[in-house]
Amino acid sequence: MADADPALGARHHAHHRIELAIEFTRHPDSPALPVFFSAYYEGGNSKGKALIQPEIAALAADATAALRWDSLGLDPVALDLGFFQLRWYSLAYLAGIVLGWWYLLKLIEKPGAPMARRHADDMVFYATLGILIGGRLGYVLFYRPEFYFANPAEIVQLWDGGMSFHGGVIGVSLGILWMARKHGLDWLRIHDYVACCVPFGLFFGRLANFVNGELWGRPTDLPWAMVFPSGGEVARHPSQLYEAGLEGILLGLVLWFLFWKTDARYQPGKLVGTFILGYGISRFLVELVRQPDAGLENLSWGLTMGQTLTVPMIVGGIYLIATAKGRRQRVEPIAGSESVA
């Protein structure tokens, strides 16, 4: 029998390393990772090494020197009584709703508010239902429909995580439409006021994602990169903090300025348009460095699922802002309130 061709063996090793590197890129938790490093310096032609080894070696070195999530002393559980656990994620939702309600009361104190105090109190109820039901169903339909259709009982298990902001937006919007129709209020102006309150929830929600060590970003060698327990021994973008800063702080400040320093609240659609445009752009950009959800890494149209869902928001936001001036109106006081035009 003839001896094996050395060149053929070298090409095989190089090809094997390339396959493992691709597997690692697509699925960071893959067991291929330790196999790859154990065979890292074995054979392979120089071209294969030049293409793959430097990047993987850099990732390994970065992971060694990077910040580690587990060194921060964070615990997803805020209170553990044995028979009952209170998680920071739940507290984040509670904080967002309570602060949003408090801020909404401040907003409607200004002349020309589209609702009275009694409506704002009802709005909290409808918004909470919209967040929970819409957020959960959005996650089920947008991100893991096959799994939940096969396991429908798990749809109601909110404590296991899995919420979609885009679904929550739809749920809250439907709640606003219902309340506005019930009380004969201007649904678009109510959207404007509620939109100003949403950044509170986004900020605390993304911080909770960070505390949970979930929804981390893609591998990077930046100085603030972090190794997350569920992300393998790879330094990653803390994309949760990027979103907290952009969607929570920056977008909140923009809406604060427009409401308190301009007449935007008298142009129905301008504030909510600014919100959905700002969120859409922020989320689209962060998705460039955020690790896509498992199974949604390579959508055929070249965008992640998160980016895909933001495109209608960006288009809708631009439309609402562009047409807001034409809807400018003199607002009338709400019966039973001190709001005046």
Which DSSP string corresponds to 197-225?
HHHHHHHHHHHHHHHTT-S-B-B---TT-
Where is pLDDT greater, at 6 or 60?
Answer: 60
pLDDT, tens only, 277-304: 999 999 999 999 999 877 666 677 889 8
pLDDT band per the 50, 70, 90 thresholds, residue 318: very high
Cα maximum dimension of the chain? 98
pLDDT band per the 50, 70, 90 thresholds, residue 340: very low
Q: Is the pLDDT of residue 248 over 70?
A: yes
CA distances (Å), origin 12, targets 16, 20, 41, 148, 176: 6, 12, 14, 40, 61
Contacts from 74-82 at CB under 8 Å and sequence distance 24+? 74/210, 74/211, 74/213, 75/211, 76/211, 76/212, 76/213
**287: helix, coil or strand?**
coil
Tokens of 25: 């890129």
Q: Which of 76-85, 98-107, 151-160, 212-221 has the lowest mean pLDDT?
A: 151-160
Angstrom distance (rounded) from CA 131 to CA 127: 6
Provide the sign of the torsion angle of the four alpha carbons 224, 228, 234, 237, taken in this order: negative
Average pLDDT of the residues of the chain: 83
Of 213, 211, 250, 245, nearest to 232 by C-alpha is 213
Angstrom distance (rounded) from CA 212 to CA 194: 27
Angstrom distance (rounded) from CA 277 to CA 317: 4
What's residue 23's pLDDT? 45
pLDDT, tens only, 162-219: 888 989 999 999 999 999 999 999 999 999 999 999 999 999 999 999 999 999 999 9
Q: Are 115 and 335 in contact (CB under 8 A)?
A: no
Q: Crossing angle of helices 187-211/251-261, nearest 10°?
A: 150
What's residue 292's pLDDT? 86
Q: Is the pLDDT of residue 131 over 60?
A: yes
Q: Are 162 and 144 in contact (CB under 8 A)?
A: yes
**178: helix, coil or strand?**
helix
What's residue 6's pLDDT? 47
Q: Are 259 and 107 in contact (CB under 8 A)?
A: yes
What's residue 296's pLDDT? 67
CA distances (Å), origin 130, targets 96, 133, 176: 14, 5, 9
Which residues make up each annotated binding site?
Answer: 206
What's residue 300's pLDDT? 79
Backbone phi and psi for residue 330, each to the nearest 5 degrees, phi listed first: -85, 120
